[in-house]
Amino acid sequence: MYSGQIVFAQLMEFLPRHEFNQCVRRYRGDYRARAFSCRDQFLAMAFAQLTYRESLRDIETCLRALGPKLYHVGFRGKISRSTLADANERRDWRIYADFAHVLIAKARQLHAHDAFGVDLDRTVYAFDSTTIDLCLALFPWARFRRRKGAIKLHTLVDVRGSIPCFVHVSHGKMSDVTALDHLVLEPGAFYVMDRGYIDFARLYRFTQAMAFFIVRGKRGLDYTRKAYHRVDKTTGLRSDQKILLRGPKTSTLYPTELRRVTYVDVETKKRFVFLTNNLSLPALVIAQLYKCRWQVELFFKWIKQHLRIKAFYGTTANAVKTQVWIAISVYVLVAILQKELALPRTLYEILQILSVTLFEKTPIFEALASPNCRIEDTTIRNQMMLFDL
């Protein structure tokens, strides 16, 4: 019989404790905190994400029912819904945003050599946003429509491992293209975006930063063709051109050459026009890289289905951002766990298993391993064998 740590405690050991304490000290998170620390808050909110709790009362009831097990997990304060609500409302959400970036950096190192369908040794990001509807009466700061509230998650995803590298939480009225101003561009990296992000002044900033963008073009673009390359039309390509913008405004905002690639999807027969500032990659690779943009859509779908980010435990902006960043931390933690233990299961399967085994005394690898995987018993027993078998 296994007599070691609870699964939840084993999972939390994958969190770098020193870096978490640094984030807490940076924003004085535990200043004048008597009984309920930032770590207690993080553990309670992570428990809520992993077990799909519906409300603060739900979190309080379930955690109090576990009794002395909480101490062995790491809880040191008393669990109360009012205390947790106050912590979510008052403690700086940047504590958990900074800590999430620590986990993101670790996850990206572990997934740095993952394949993503294109033979390219550069970093490729997919950028997009998703809207989460809210009640305007409860969230008056999150204005979206006249009688409707919402927040937007502007997210940059590394397609190797689908790791979110940048998340900006805003009210629903913020336009997508404005989020480009918050990006710190990485030289040599590729940024894949939909046509909602066409703003030639902002796109020219990518060229100045020696980063590459691939964006879907709009109709009616005023340009002149400078050169073209022959393409193999059996692959779906239709044209590969170098162009210069000639509109009175666009030619000033983006004064250098662009590349215009036209592609028709073989299966759907849908026609796509891509604009990019990369003039050297094969045109087919440009089209394949744009398909990677779907990774960010899958990420949004996954977190909305399997994490608690559509219903919130608090109504203030600080509480909402705290919950979003802790949810992202849980997602990245599971991705780290999957890679560190070389688990054959998907992130969804790992979350489902954790939700029902979180407070069992089982080796975490044994709990998450494939049912066909044979686990060797390495438990050291003090009792000696009476007879040799």
pLDDT tens, residue by residue, 248-266:
999 999 999 999 999 998 8
What per-residue confidence (pLDDT) applies to 372? 60
Helices 38-51, 347-357: crossing angle, 10 deg rounding: 110
What pLDDT digit, counting tens, does each position of 228-245 carry? 999 999 999 999 999 999
Token pair of 204, please? 């020219």
Residue 377's pLDDT band (cuts 50, 70, 90): very low
pLDDT at position 329 is 96
222/245 Cα distance (integer angstroms): 6
SS3 state of residue 189? coil
Q: Percent of the chain beyond pLDDT 70?
A: 94
Q: How far apart are CA 358 and CA 328, in angstroms?
A: 19
Q: What is the DSSP string of 122-138?
A: S-EEEEEEEEEEE-TTT
Indicate the Cα dihedral angle 227, 263, 260, 128, nearest 10°.
-160
Phi-psi region of 91 (alpha: psi -120 to 50; beta: other; left: phi over 0): beta
Q: What's the CA dihedral at 330, 336, 340, 344 to 10 degrees?
A: 80
- The mean pLDDT of 138-162, rounded to a whole number, is 92
Partners of residue 207 on adjacent β-strands: none
**In contact, 316 and 87? CB cutoff 8 Å:** no
pLDDT surpasses 70 at 121: yes
> Quick one: average pLDDT of 357-364?
91
Give the pLDDT of residue 375: 46
Map residue 158 onto helix, strand or coil: strand
DSSP state of 184: -
Range 46-54 average pLDDT: 94
Distance CA 292, CA 299 (A): 12
Judge whether residue 380 has pLDDT over 70.
no
Helix ranges (H only) for the chain are 7-12, 17-26, 38-51, 56-65, 69-73, 81-90, 94-110, 200-208, 250-253, 283-291, 294-306, 317-340, 347-357, 364-368
Mean pLDDT of the chain: 90
Q: What is the pLDDT of residues 193-236, one digit of tens each?
A: 999 999 999 999 999 999 999 999 988 899 999 999 999 999 99
**Percent above pLDDT 90 for the chain:** 77
> Is 367 within 8 Å of 7 (Cβ atoms)?
yes
Cα separation of 171 and 179, whole Å?
Answer: 12
Please give the DSSP secondary-structure letter assigned to residue 368. Answer: H
Beta pairing partners, 241 = 228, 260
pLDDT band for 378, please (50, 70, 90 cuts). Answer: very low
Which pLDDT belongs to residue 52?
Answer: 92
Q: Enter the pTM of the model.
A: 0.89
Q: Is residue 215 within 8 Å of residue 286, measured between CB atoms? A: no
Residue 386 clears pLDDT 60, i.e. is over it: no
Q: 270: number of CA atoms within 13 Å, CB side?
A: 5
Label residue 389 by pLDDT band (50, 70, 90): very low
Per-residue model confidence (pLDDT) at position 34: 81
For the residues 301-326, what does the mean pLDDT come to? 93
